[in-house]
Amino acid sequence: MKKAVVLSSGGIDSTTVMAIALSEGYDVSAISYAYGQRHAFELQAAESVAEFFKIKNRIVLSIDLSRFGGSALTDTIDVPKSATNIIKSNGIPVTYVPARNAVFLSLALAWAEVLGAYDIFIGVNAIDYSGYPDCRPEFIQAFEQMANLATRAGVEGPDRFRIQAPLLHMSKAQIIQKGIALGVDYSLTHSCYDPSDTGLACDRCDSCILRRLGFEAAGVKDPTRYHR
């Protein structure tokens, strides 16, 4: 069975990507990151998702990006809230974590090389997203090229590394519809950047807005528990 490493954040996108990888017959290993983010609810969601899909090989790496700061997700900067528009229209938002996907993919690549997995799945999206530069197809293409230049497996191995981003050109509604077709339980997922102490979603941050509008456009009942 072909092997794959899937980056799992516990959100809609990474959960859908995991379902896609499994549906394509991959033996999936899941990697999540405790990176100094504002809360642990997304890691709890990732654990629930892994259990739902019966992923046996899963690790959580601790890398404290809050030591650097520079983001509303890893620093004391307030998370922007907007009930009417998506923040990406004003440029790259302060919820962007500097080089996060480059860091995450690099660590996933190292694990994939050890596992003998040449496919790395990531749930980046260049349509319904917050405008992060590390969610663009140019970044994915460049990282894939680097992966095959920077590793022994890429240089001497029997295959080439592939950075699989199957959601790259899909809307949030299309992503949700794809996941529903594959049997995903989205009530297990978490998206909010600034939840309550009990994990209720704020319904006003960028991520919450994209999530809610996605369910509405998909014609699927939103299972999210909001703090309203």
Burial, 69: exposed, middle or buried (Cβ in 10 Å; 0-12, 13-18, 19+)? Answer: middle
Confidence at 98, pLDDT banded by 50, 70, 90? very high
Q: Is 203 in contact with 210 (CB distance < 8 Å)?
A: no
pLDDT in tens, 80-95: 887 544 545 567 889 9
Residue 131, pLDDT score = 81
Q: Among residues of the chain, what percentage have pLDDT more than 70? A: 95
pLDDT at 223 over 80: yes
Neighbours of 214 (CB within 10 A): 23
Alpha helices in the chain (DSSP H): 12-23, 41-52, 100-115, 137-150, 152-156, 172-181, 206-218
**Higher pLDDT among residues 87 and 184, named by residue:** 184
Neighbours of 3 (CB within 10 A): 15
The reported pTM is 0.94
Closest C-alpha among 18, 21, 26, 107 to residue 61: 107
How far apart CA 144 and CA 50 sit, in angstroms, is 25
Q: Which of 3, 9, 2, 79 is nearest to 38 (CA)?
A: 79
CB 73 within 8 A of CB 37: yes
Characterise 165 by phi-psi region: left (phi > 0), alpha (psi -120 to 50), beta (else). beta
The pLDDT assigned to 90 comes to 64
